[in-house]
């Protein structure tokens, strides 16, 4: 009896989303893939919001208005939505590919026989 290896084959660390039978399994797999890349939003989100604070007056309103003002509340809600969008953007594969050299450098060179002699 020969099994069909193509249907049970995994790709990378996780299986393919299209091979999942239920919507719940697809969503779980997508979140697991994003979860495996949480280092990138954790480290890089600070740069996004520091640049936003430096080059715009986005947060200056909080120094001049009272906390109950609708403008401050609206700015807070927009910042929250911007944060979620930033985390999703920084969790995507193109971002991981662009910044892998910085956050996950290859250490194989350090263990080469030539380096180990010294």
Beta strands in the chain (DSSP E): none
Looking at the predicted structure, is the pLDDT value of residue 31 above 80?
yes
pLDDT tens by residue, 88-113: 899 888 998 999 998 888 888 878 88
Compute the distance between CA of residue 76 and CA of residue 12 in angstroms, rounded to an integer. Answer: 39
Domain boundaries, the chain: 37-105
pLDDT tens digit sequence for 32-54: 887 888 889 999 888 888 888 88
pTM here is: 0.62
Contact (CB, 8 A) for 91 and 40: yes
């Amino acid at each position: 009896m020969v099994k069909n290896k193509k249907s049970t084959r995994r790709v990378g660390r996780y299986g393919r989303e299209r091979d999942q039978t239920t919507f719940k399994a697809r969503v779980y797999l997508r979140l697991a893939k994003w979860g495996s890349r949480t280092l990138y939003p954790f480290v890089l989100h600070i740069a996004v919001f520091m640049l936003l604070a430096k080059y715009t007056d986005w947060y200056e309103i909080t120094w001049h208005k009272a906390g109950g003002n609708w403008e401050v509340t609206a700015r807070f809600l927009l910042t929250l939505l911007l944060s979620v969008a930033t985390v999703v953007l920084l969790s995507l594969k193109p971002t991981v590919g662009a910044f892998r050299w910085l956050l996950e450098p290859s250490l194989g060179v350090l263990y080469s026989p030539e380096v180990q002699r010294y």
